[in-house]
Amino acid sequence: MKIICRCQDITEEEIIDAIRQGASTIDEVKRLVRAGMGPCQGRTCRRLVSQIIARELQKPISDVFPPTFRPPNRPVPFKLVMAEFQRQEKEDLKKAAKPKIGKKP
Ligand code: FES
């Protein structure tokens, strides 16, 4: 038993079963067995899954359709999100405080 997706404890056999059920892309394997849906979002297992698909379907790895990515692709510390929010809030306050020149009320 060879674990391929450490986050979800998905074995190579489970991935091969998914391919035999008709999965031919990383996303299809993900939908069937959840490989790539763990906390690392497939950063660790994606390459291994594509190698298994290529090997099982006997096609070059470049022909394995890449997965779709959804933001954020990397974990973002919440303090960075809050810093950006506060920066935008300050900017909005400055804009609101500026007198509008040339416009009649
Ligand atoms: S190792 Fe597969 S999602 Fe993290």
Q: Ligand 1 centroid to 4 CA: how many Å?
A: 8
Q: Average of pLDDT values for 15-31?
A: 96
| Domains of the chain by residue range | 3-63
Predicted pLDDT of residue 29: 96
Return d(Cα 30, Cα 21) in angstroms, integer: 13
The DSSP-derived string for 76-100 is --HHHHHHHHHHHHHHHHHHHHS--
Q: Give tens-digit pLDDT for 43-63.
A: 899 999 999 999 999 999 999
Predicted pLDDT of residue 72: 65
Q: Give tens-digit pLDDT for 67-104.
A: 877 666 778 899 999 999 999 999 999 998 877 677 66
User: 3-63 is classed in which CATH architecture?
Assistant: Orthogonal Bundle (1.10)
> Which residue do the tokens 């300050």 mark?
90
Q: Which atom number of ligand 1 is nearest to the Cα of residue 46?
A: 2
Q: Ligand 1 centroid to 59 CA: how many Å?
A: 23
**Is residue 39 reached through a cis peptide bond, with omega within 30 degrees of 0 on the bond before it?**
no
Whole-model pTM over 0.85: no
